[in-house]
Amino acid sequence: MNEDKLNLKDVIKSDDDQNLTNDFSYYLKNNLASSIKPGLNSQLDSSLWEAAKFSQLTAEDEGLLNRVTSNLLKNIKVEENVFSFKEFFNQANSQVQNIWSDLLQTMQWQVLTPVAITRSVASDEALSLGTFTQSIANIGNIEMNLNFYNKTNSIKLLVQATDLNGEALTDTKVMISKDFSQIIYEGQTNEDGFMLEPNIELGNGIFQIDFLVNDNLVSTPIFKI
């Protein structure tokens, strides 16, 4: 390649893919300002048009595309079911209670005690989202009590993990994720199978609480603040 005399006509005649890549990169680097606008260089327009034509995906690429698309569609579907804790304070309690209970049941949680709104000693509206439990086949049980404080956008979290015999499941991991990606809290049950966090500040966003029990993942409905 004679770099001093390199022009686009010579580049696109190359039969070697690696040489074509190198020459085209060099050409663009040195001629980008003068040839990037459509209509100024017909040879560049033609080569870009050819490069943009559709070619059939390989089976591997198609599988990757399907997985990515499925995840995007899943997130879209999930976001439709995100429940706002603030709605408990703005709507009829029975209506939003039923929605929250339905979401819990969809995620395989059994509701033990219902939702209730109270006033805390700090004159903050406190929302008890109830106590709910989920059985994990061949492992045991997760029970959780969840409270939300409207003024501070924080939660109180009480967790008990037990095996099939009712004995403590220690080191059960508890995680809170924000906006589908960021882990903002990690904790675990103690030697008695309990974990209590009286004040976890969440701020604003979309959240989910996950429990990892012997490599089994259990999740709450997704909620937003």
User: What pairs with residue 218 in β-bridges?
Assistant: 211
Residue 184 is predicted with a pLDDT of: 95
Q: Tell me the C-alpha distance between 179 and 79, whole Å.
A: 10
CB 223 within 8 A of CB 205: no
Note the pLDDT tens digit of each residue in 119-171: 655 667 888 899 999 999 899 999 999 999 988 999 999 999 999 999 999 99
Largest CA-CA distance found in the chain, in angstroms, rounded: 82
Predicted pLDDT of residue 181 = 81
Domain ranges of the chain: 3-52, 82-224
Top-confidence residue, 189 or 59 = 189
- The mean pLDDT value for 98-105 works out to 88
Rounded Cα gap, residues 168 and 162, in angstroms? 5
C-alpha 32/C-alpha 29 separation (Å) is: 6
Residue type, 47: S
Q: Which CATH code is given to the segment(s) 82-224?
A: 2.60.40.3080
Q: What pLDDT is stored for residue 199 in this prediction?
A: 93
Whats the size of the chain, residue-wise?
225
